[in-house]
Amino acid sequence: MPDILIIGSGGVGSVVAHKCAEVAKSGGPFSRITLASRTVSRCEAVAKSVLERYGVSLDTRTVDADDEKSLCRLIDEVKPALVLNIALPYQDLHIMNACLECGVDYLDTANYEPPETAHFEYKWQWAYRERFEKAGLCALLGSGFDPGVTNVFAAWVVKHELDEVHVLDIIDCNAGDHGQPFATNFNPEINIREVTARGRYWERGEWVETDPLSWSMNYSFPEGIGPKSCYLMYHEELESLVENLPGIRRARFWMTFSENYLRHLRVLEDVGMTRIDPVEFHGQSIVPVQFLAKLLPDPASLGPLTKGRTCIGNLMKGVKDGRTKTVYIYNICDHESCYAEVGSQAISYTTGVPAMVGAKMIVEGLWKKPGVWNMEQMDPDPFLADLARYGLPWHCVEVSEA
């Protein structure tokens, strides 16, 4: 059975390590699991928890993934079949380069973003298609929840529920509460860059821009979660989905935020704390959002504090057998259950489980194709079967009105 290398030992990396160990323990397709990050003590803390919960030993290593030579040395030493990039989007291209150099498959959960510009786009990673194809290697992009499961949900609806999809609304609701005045539930720098960016959606063949968080709608979430305000944002899966869903007329992404989160964010923006350009301070160059991220709670520390549920899914309207049909496909995940299982809150959990399942699809050969792929380009059925099996059950219901 193949060995795997996980890079990044934060909130999401910890869940990936736990879930890979769970699969390995039950005779799944992973053999030796190595967890590497810049700070080896974080890897060791995760390894201790994994050993206690599953009796599986992880190898731990230090690596700076921005240094491609060190990365190659680590890959040559560990000899994994697959590298799971669970570090930050800034590392994507370095890790893809190292995978090509060393001849191993690649997976990540977020698309490349240059540190100096708050702008993410697949063009940098799609430019690797030919090189991965020629090398006979597989790179799977965005194997988290959104992007990730939302892409696979779209593919499953196209395969089983609709002949044509005309309208797609991805709606991400975190109805949980961590009790902190202000905290982000994944990496604070990446989260704040994403949320403060201009909104963008696809309508009739072109991208339409909106001011940040200037559009909102009310959506009533199922299973007792109830109505919440959702704000239109740009999100990376829209870019690949509008390419891969033929006939799509409108595609949008929405996320819920509490009034408290938005109030804090507005103040931080107004005083310049979300800026991403360097500022001279006492003879040192400081990037305000990075300093802010240092002061905010570590997302991995929110596990024991967070209560409530997440509900993330796709509302998709189109045509089936000549009649208009709308379906809602979603998962609900409980923060406290995730903490009891792997010691993490649900945002890390809902990202980490699909990363493990994507890795399983590649090493089992079900999704292993040479090239660079977005999730909706693969067969959704085996992925969604394993997603439910390993902790994220999902449902698809027909709704009367979109």
Q: Residue 265 carries which side chain, given as an amino acid letter?
A: L
Residue placing its CB nearer to ligand NDP in the complex, 75 or 135: 75
Counting contacts by CB under 6 A, is residue 88 touching ligand NDP? yes
CA distance 289 to 227: 32
User: Which of 106, 132, 145, 202 is the binder for ligand NDP (CB under 6 A)?
Assistant: 145
Residues 290-309 that bind ligand NDP (CB under 6 A): 299-300
Torsion, Cα 237 240 241 246, to 10 degrees, reads: 170
- Helices 92-102 and 68-78 cross at an angle (nearest 10°) of 50
Q: Cβ(348)–Cβ(15) under 8 Å? A: yes
Residues 97-126 that bind ligand NDP (CB under 6 A): 109-110
User: Which of 4, 5, 6, 7 is the binder for ligand NDP (CB under 6 A)?
Assistant: 7
* Phi/psi of residue 327, nearest 5 degrees: -125, 155
User: Which of 4, 5, 6, 8 is the binder for ligand NDP (CB under 6 A)?
Assistant: 8
Counting contacts by CB under 6 A, is residue 314 touching ligand NDP? no
Counting contacts by CB under 6 A, is residue 331 touching ligand NDP? no
Counting contacts by CB under 6 A, is residue 233 touching ligand NDP? no
CB of residue 3 to ligand NDP, shortest distance in Å: 19
Counting contacts by CB under 6 A, is residue 324 touching ligand NDP? no
Neighbours of 59 (CB within 10 A): 15
Nearest residue relative to ligand NDP (C-beta): 10
Counting contacts by CB under 6 A, is residue 351 touching ligand NDP? yes
CA distance 246 to 233: 22
CA distance 16 to 3: 14
Q: Which tokens in the block code for residue 183?
A: 């905290």
Q: Which tokens in the block code for residue 94?
A: 């370095």
SS3 203: strand
Binding flags for ligand NDP, 46-65, as an x/- string (CB under 6 A): -----------------xxx
* Phi/psi of residue 166, nearest 5 degrees: -105, -40
CA distance 15 to 1: 21
From the list 11-19, 163-171, 275-283, 382-390, the region that binds ligand NDP by CB under 6 A is 11-19
Whether a cis peptide bond, with omega within 30° of 0, leads into 147 is yes
Residue placing its CB nearer to ligand NDP in the complex, 107 or 268: 107
Residue placing its CB nearer to ligand NDP in the complex, 125 or 187: 187
| Parallel, antiparallel or unpaired: strands 250-256 and 199-203 | antiparallel
From the list 4-12, 20-28, 49-57, 326-334, the region that binds ligand NDP by CB under 6 A is 4-12
Task: Give the binding-site size for ligand NDP (rule: CB under 6 A).
Answer: 35
User: Which of 91, 196, 326, 331 is the binder for ligand NDP (CB under 6 A)?
Assistant: 91
User: Which of 3, 44, 59, 66 is the binder for ligand NDP (CB under 6 A)?
Assistant: 66
CB of residue 154 to ligand NDP, shortest distance in Å: 14
Quick one: which of 189, 213, 387 has its CA closest to 299? 189
Positive/negative CA dihedral, 63, 66, 68, 69? negative
- Give the binding site for ligand NDP (CB under 6 A): 7-13, 37-39, 42, 63-66, 86-89, 91, 109-110, 142, 144-148, 186-187, 190, 299-300, 347, 351
